[in-house]
């Protein structure tokens, strides 16, 4: 008669149960760690996606309007006022007086009290 090994259900010994409980606890900790890791990576990926979408929308606006914010050299002339003109197009930007408007002086009011 020949003997063969088969994999069948069999009762666990107390040592095997304790060993499996330790393995289970370790696996549950690892599952929590992995979930946290995935959540952090997903958050980072979502933030990256959001930034890319904002950049794309900014480019769409620039293309639609044909304009974009850029630093432009301006000529500033100061005499009695400040005049700002773009150097690239000669377009007038703003005119600001250099002298502040005087604040009107207010005379102090003295209240008289009478005693009876």
Residue 26 has pLDDT above 80, yes or no: yes
Best CA proximity match to 82, nearest among 93, 90, 72: 93
pLDDT of residue 116: 55
75 and 87 Cβ atoms separated by less than 8 Å = yes
pTM for this entry: 0.49
* More confident site: 110 or 91: 91
pLDDT tens per residue across span 28-63: 999 999 999 999 999 999 999 999 999 999 999 999
* Highest averaged pLDDT of the listed ranges 45-49, 74-78, 89-93: 45-49
């Amino acid at each position: 008669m020949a003997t063969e090994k088969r994999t069948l259900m069999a009762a666990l010994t107390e040592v095997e149960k304790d060993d499996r409980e330790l393995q289970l606890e370790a696996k549950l900790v690892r599952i929590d760690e992995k979930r946290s890791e995935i959540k952090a990576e997903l958050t980072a990926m979502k933030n990256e996606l959001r930034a890319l979408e904002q950049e794309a929308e900014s480019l769409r606006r620039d293309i639609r309007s044909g304009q974009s914010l850029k630093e432009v050299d301006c000529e500033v002339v100061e005499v009695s006022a400040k005049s700002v003109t773009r150097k690239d197009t000669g377009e007038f930007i703003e005119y600001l007086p250099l002298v502040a408007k005087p604040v009107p002086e207010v005379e102090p009011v003295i209240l008289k009290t009478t005693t009876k």
